[in-house]
Amino acid sequence: MFSVKKFSFQDKELSELAFSIRRQVFVEEQGVDAFLEYDHEEVSHHYLLFLAEKPIATARWRKTDKGIKLERFAVLPQFRNRGIGDIILKEVLIDVISLGKLIYLHSQLKAVPFYERNGFKKAGEMFLEAGIEHFLMKYE
């Protein structure tokens, strides 16, 4: 069924699978500049969710001056609205909650209800990031 693999940027094979998902979702589907999509890779903790042997979702987190920032959550279009995002988010939260720091993310406007269902609250006003409307959200 589903499995989640955790990896570092140094694992080039898994990194390329994650980048393939991110490229499809963020660059091709949402029009994000590819240059903006790839940053902080070396200091991030990466995840891939597989259905059988097929990678269908990815995410990452990293430490910042503010706490733990969750980033780059992407599910391939044909697998959305099936609870896949919940599975990978819960895997990430298991790893970061025990660190005892503020957990936050920048949610695209359309994903706010998803994060709210999973314990995040909006903090502040809407802002643009990579030309897309976002809210700062903090885990409660």
Instruction: Provide the CA 133 distance to its chain's centre, in angstroms.
Output: 16
> What residues are paired with 133 via a beta bridge?
128
The maximal CA–CA distance of the chain, rounded, in angstroms, is 40
CB 68 within 8 A of CB 98: no
Q: What pTM value is reported for the model?
A: 0.94
pLDDT tens readout for residues 30-47: 999 888 888 999 999 999
pLDDT tens readout for residues 77-133: 999 999 999 999 999 999 999 999 999 999 999 999 999 999 999 999 999 999 999
For each of the domains in the chain, give its residue range(s) and CATH number, in order of start.
2-139 (3.40.630.30)
CB 116 within 8 A of CB 90: no
